[in-house]
Structure 1
Amino acid sequence: MQKRVLIIDTMHESLLPMLEKAGFAPDYLPQITRAEILDIVGHYQVMIVRSKTPIDAELLGKATQLEVLARAGAGTDQVDMAALQACNIALINAPEGNRDAVGEHAMGMLLALMNKLLQADAQVRQKIWQREANRGYELMGKTVGIIGYGHMGQSFAKRLSGFGCRVLAYDKYKSGFSDTYATEASLEQLWAEAEVLSLHVPLTAATRGWINTDFFNRFAHPIWFVNTARGEIVPLASLREALQSGKLRGACLDVLEQEKLDKLTPAQAVDFEWLTQQPNVIFSPHVAGWTYESYERINRVLVDKLVQLTA
């Protein structure tokens, strides 16, 4: 019997033919509401999600036939892992699908920041020609610290190799992972030696608010900071304080503590407004892994994993 697949988020058009070719029976319902999901999820063996709704005990309690939850992307912070395990439902995700996109985006943001490209572009458009004010820094030879050496961290390290960087990587959950692109290091070594820091860790109870003012103050050198992971790991207030103190030379922020900008708390709104006025802060709207290529590649990764898991 064909396994039924409920798809509740917008996906690349290639997904349905891939699933059908693999022998699944997909229902593509990207406009579905949470109430409607709760009504029908009990009829499906597989559910594919992005971030439409929390996958919590309430929803999983209705998913009486669900065997596999597939996350189209890398992050699983919206999934109640304990409830998922209690229901004996397998979880798959697709970090292999957007790791190249994240590595390239992080590199692009860092180069733009260090070379003041956004500031220079804005000035030239206003017929302001200031060469000295836009003198940049070279990435070549810098010591780059990476926190989290999974798919995303490895992708960024690989791209840094072309710039002659010394890459130090810390990963709480791995050991013995030094490779061609990075050397395993402790947090203490990163604090002592890094000139650039890039985050590639998931959002968990342990990492929420982890990279705070105290963390930044431990660095021996002022650093350039890149976050393409999750915004809730780094409070906006801590970013502001570290930039004001000079601990951060600048920041590349693809993610924010609160990405629904109309729901910022009063304190967050003040900090965000201050950050937007700084020429050494670059933003993008959580799109590091969101390229045309990764949009389709994620589908291939998920379907391949589904086939292997349900064979």
Structure 2
Amino acid sequence: MVLASPTELTMSARRSAQPLEPRHLKPFGVGDVRVLLLENVNQTAVEILRKAGYQVEFHTKALPEDVLIEKIKSVHIVGIRSKTKLTRQVLQHADKLLTIGCFCIGTNQVDLDFAAERGISVFNSPFSNSRSVAEMTISNVIALARQLGDRNREMHEGNWFKVSANCYEVRGKTLGIVGYGHIGSQLSVMAESLGMRVLFYDVLQLMPLGSSSPTESLDDLLRRSDFVTLHVPETSDTKDMIGRRELALMKPQSYLINASRGTVVDIPALAEALRASKLAGCAIDVYPSEPLANGKYFESPLIGCPNTILSPHIGGSTEEAQSMIGIEVASALTRFINVGTTLNAVNYPQVDLRAIPAAKESIFRLVNVHRNVPGVLRQINNILAPFNVEKQVCDNKGNISYFMADISIGSVEDIQTIYDHISSIEENVITRVLY
């Protein structure tokens, strides 16, 4: 397999070849595709990318910015988790970079807009850790009901306090789930298997699973639930969605669990409610500001609050979840490089085409990213007018448009002509030719 300019490929090699490297770089073979994986990305990703024939450089930790800038100049794929910051300053040095894989849920560590402007797609894994988060939430429900966090701390301090006051079974209690997506719906099923009643609130109309019931409002859920657990994204609407007012609506001696995003809960207000015994306890896994490295860096008003379980953002930190994340993101990266699909990209339009039939050796695939302004698609179609376009699709996201087309051509020279003309369009960001 090779990555090459159109004039260096024969038509007979079309089916086994790989895409043209953009930004007018010299042709290179698929074995020269370079991947930089940082922060101990799961080995499932390493195996998938190496199996694709790529050169993989693997690091267990994040790199200093100056080292990262130097290395990113020569790679086509970068894989990170949450500590590496791919800022504008870093990405402006990424002359060969085609795509970024965030092997985690969030993408706040990447300048998504600038990456799109440079023709760099970004993929993440928003759902692969759903089961792990749901299981930890259930464990927190039981631990809070039995005050296990306090008893564990006391035992480590050498104190034996065997008590049953204010310790409960969860059977028969009401669990209120805020956000009934991949995590919330799985949690719903688990909770019912424990004999809990389940209420949920979501901004979307979703089908209840089992015997769970939707509530008309968040306020209604807060008033009726013994346990409230949050599973919502970070948006302007969810920022401080649980503040003093909402905490006051909750049942006296109820419990709050947050394994979603740190900005969803007003932490000082929550600490006040716990210390005043307005709530019976809480379990928090995410925080408005989190340390960038392991060590003695954590500070919070919640430290020392009664029946309060604090964990260092580990809801999705299981071997199973990390393995699934590695598979999902690495597969998305190889599909983007090899066939151009942007399904599940966070900063690109969602575009895909069915595979090119193997029997049609005269067909090549054109992939183009351009600025989303009027008239560009007309220019592209005028260039393609002399040829038979088997299929094409174009979609927009913000300032970026993504175009894919499978085109029948008569000679390799035709491919070069199409590539040169589309690359010369003023609004062109990046053009690739896939065979």
Q: Which amino acid aligns with 2:140?
A: M
Alpha-carbon offset, residue 190 of structure 1: 1.6
Q: Which amino acid aligns with 1:35?
A: D
Deviations 1:273-297 (A, max 9, x none): xx33233111222212112222323
The structure 2 residue matched to 1:223, chosen from 245, 248, 254, is 254
Residue 294 of structure 1: aligned partner: 321
Residue 280 of structure 1: aligned partner: 307
What secondary structure does 1:43 align onto? Answer: coil
Residue 130 of structure 1: aligned partner: 162
Does the Cα contact within 8 Å between 2:41 and 2:80 map onto a contact in 1? Answer: no
Matched, 1:18 2:18: no
Alpha-carbon offset, residue 221 of structure 1: 5.1
CA 1:65–1:157 in 2, change beyond 3 Å: closer, same or farther? farther
Partners in 2 of 1:45 and 1:5 — Cα distance?
6
Alpha-carbon offset, residue 145 of structure 1: 1.9
Matched, 1:144 2:171: no
Q: Which has the higher helix share?
A: 1
> TM-score, normalised to structure 2's length?
0.62
What secondary structure does 1:305 align onto? Answer: helix
Partners in 2 of 1:249 and 1:164 — Cα distance?
21
Judge which range, 69-78 or 115-124, deviates more. Answer: 115-124
CA 1:81–1:189 in 2, change beyond 3 Å: closer, same or farther? farther
Partners in 1 of 2:106 and 2:186 — Cα distance?
16
Alpha-carbon offset, residue 251 of structure 1: 0.4
- 1:1-80 alignment runs, 5 A limit: 1=3, 2=30, 3-29=33-59, 30-80=61-111
Residue 202 of structure 1: aligned partner: 233
Alpha-carbon offset, residue 205 of structure 1: 4.4
Partners in 2 of 1:124 and 1:41 — Cα distance?
49
Q: Who wins on radius of gyration, i.e. which is larger?
A: 2
Residue 120 of structure 1: aligned partner: 151
Alpha-carbon offset, residue 224 of structure 1: 0.8
Partners in 1 of 2:222 and 2:330 — Cα distance?
41
Q: Which has the higher strand share?
A: 2
Alpha-carbon offset, residue 129 of structure 1: 5.2
CA 1:63–1:252 in 2, change beyond 3 Å: closer, same or farther? same
Partners in 2 of 1:178 and 1:307 — Cα distance?
36
- Corresponding pairs, count: 302
Judge which range, 20-29 or 283-292, deviates more. Answer: 20-29
What secondary structure does 1:83 align onto? Answer: helix
Does the Cα contact within 8 Å between 1:75 and 1:202 map onto a contact in 2? Answer: no
Alpha-carbon offset, residue 112 of structure 1: 0.8
Q: Which amino acid aligns with 1:20?
A: R
Partners in 2 of 1:67 and 1:180 — Cα distance?
44
- Structural RMSD (CA): 2.8
Alpha-carbon offset, residue 263 of structure 1: 5.9
The structure 2 residue matched to 1:96, chosen from 112, 116, 127, is 127
Does the Cα contact within 8 Å between 1:192 and 1:221 map onto a contact in 2? Answer: no
Residue 257 of structure 1: aligned partner: 288
What secondary structure does 1:258 align onto? Answer: coil
Partners in 2 of 1:247 and 1:55 — Cα distance?
42
What secondary structure does 1:276 align onto? Answer: coil
What secondary structure does 1:62 align onto? Answer: coil
What secondary structure does 2:129 align onto? Answer: helix
Partners in 2 of 1:228 and 1:21 — Cα distance?
35
Alpha-carbon offset, residue 259 of structure 1: 3.0
Partners in 2 of 1:34 and 1:202 — Cα distance?
29
Does the Cα contact within 8 Å between 2:227 and 2:255 map onto a contact in 1? Answer: yes
Deviations 1:13-64 (A, max 9, x none): 3432221113333222335222222233243332211112333333333334
Alpha-carbon offset, residue 73 of structure 1: 1.6
Alpha-carbon offset, residue 72 of structure 1: 0.9
Deviations 1:153-200 (A, max 9, x none): 23322321212323233333x333433374444323323322211122
Judge which range, 136-145 or 105-114, deviates more. Answer: 136-145
Q: Which amino acid aligns with 1:306?
A: L
Partners in 2 of 1:6 and 1:79 — Cα distance?
15
Partners in 2 of 1:74 and 1:114 — Cα distance?
29
Partners in 2 of 1:52 and 1:204 — Cα distance?
21
CA 1:220–1:109 in 2, change beyond 3 Å: closer, same or farther? closer
Q: Which amino acid aligns with 1:250?
A: G
Q: Which amino acid aligns with 2:307?
A: N
Does the Cα contact within 8 Å between 1:119 and 1:279 map onto a contact in 2? Answer: yes
CA 1:177–1:58 in 2, change beyond 3 Å: closer, same or farther? farther
Matched, 1:307 2:307: no
Partners in 2 of 1:305 and 1:191 — Cα distance?
39
